[in-house]
Amino acid sequence: MADDSAATRTRTTAPGRWQRPLSRRPLSLRRRSPDADGRSPWARGRVLAALAVLTAVLLAFPSAVPNTVGRLGSLLETFLPWLGLAVPLLLVLALLRRSATALVALVLPVAVWGQSFGGRLLPEDRGAHDLTAVQHNVSDVNTDPTGTATALIAEAPDLVALEEVTPAALPTYEKALASEYPHHAVEGTVGLWSRHPLSDVRRVDIKPAAIEEGWSRGMRSTARTPWGDMAVYVAHLPSVRLGPGGLGSGLRDESAGLLGAALAAEKLERVILLGDLNSTLDDRGLAPVTSRMDRTDSTRQGFAFSWPASFPVSRIDQILARSATVSHVRTLPATGSDHLPVAVDITLGRGSEDAPPSP
């Protein structure tokens, strides 16, 4: 009997056979519950989280990207709102990866995009204004100049600026716009039609040195309105090209510098600039121009993408003002051009001495 008891005790205390070994850490003390791959949702997706943070930084500080190589900074700024498309892509990847870290990090780019561009999605009430202006690159291969002019008249603007007006199409535009706009001036391939008298019309030289003579895409005139005289500029800056070397904007940037110098030398207080500037207002390449004009609160304006007309992705057609306020920026229906027309309302900054005369 004594031997049997000893054997029983031996079998009872033998580890791994008759008793389950005690756990070194109680289950209640475990802080995370790993998934099938054995990793916590907070430990996965750190690369996705880093990409989300990088997207937020680029949205908030696009000027941090240098323009030294391929003008990557200008390229980013030209299409900056579209950087927000990285958010849904990262969201899908974060869900597939089941990464809580990446999902939390995505709050940053969403917040920055909403702060920068969210207001443009809201409808803007058309309040009181003094003038309406339309800017349109009509295209030098437009086969329907009459229809284009008719579409612009439908908006009932006070000022109409056109670019790429060819000598062959000019008589058609003059005839179609004459009844509503008795005052007009043309320099090279740009022109201005106005309900108000124009004077002091002259060419503005914005030709880069590398472009041959005969290239004329800038003009300036004085519009005599009931609120006083204002300088009106029409400009068409050189096109940019995207290639293996990056954004080819050298000619555009040089022309912008010349236009900025002309605006800086303007003596009249009120200035309106209408033109195809071949970039967005966020592009640092246009700084010589935008720095000479009043910067409107773009977060409260619509996107009004104007190019290309078939699938607009960017607004490169601009209407800017100095000592005046531009509001209700919008695009008009497509014409025979590869650009959409852009229309704005303008409120003139004025004192009591500038009030319009009584009828």
| pLDDT tens-digit series, residues 192-227 | 999 999 999 999 999 999 999 999 999 999 999 999
Q: Where are the beta strands (DSSP E) in the chain?
A: 131-137, 159-163, 183-187, 190-194, 198-203, 218-225, 228-236, 241-243, 246-248, 271-276, 317-322, 324-331, 342-348
Q: Region of 228 please: left (phi>0), alpha (psi -120 to 50) or beta.
A: left
Between the CA of residue 270 and those of 209, 258, 276, 323, what are the distances in Å? 30, 19, 20, 5
Quick one: average pLDDT of 321-327?
94
Do 221 and 201 form a contact (C-beta atoms < 8 A)?
Answer: yes
Phi and psi angles of residue 344, each rounded to the nearest 5 degrees, phi first: -140, 160
Whether the per-residue pLDDT at 252 is higher than 50: the answer is yes
How far apart are alpha carbons 39 and 41 in whole angstroms? 7
**pTM of the predicted model over 0.85:** no
Of 102, 78, 76, which Cα lies nearest the Cα of 89? Answer: 102
Burial (0-12, 13-18, 19+ Cβ within 10 Å), 346: buried
Which two structure tokens, joined as six digits, stand for 279?
Answer: 């970039």
Summarised one tens digit per residue, pLDDT across range 42-79 is 768 899 999 999 999 999 999 999 998 889 999 999 99
Using only C-alpha atoms, the chain has a radius of gyration, in whole angstroms, of 31
User: Hey, what amino acid is at 30?
Assistant: R
Do 327 and 129 form a contact (C-beta atoms < 8 A)?
Answer: yes
Of 217, 219, 174, which Cα lies nearest the Cα of 199? Answer: 219
Summarised one tens digit per residue, pLDDT across range 286-297 is 999 999 999 765
Q: Which residue is listed with tokens 């990090």?
A: 105
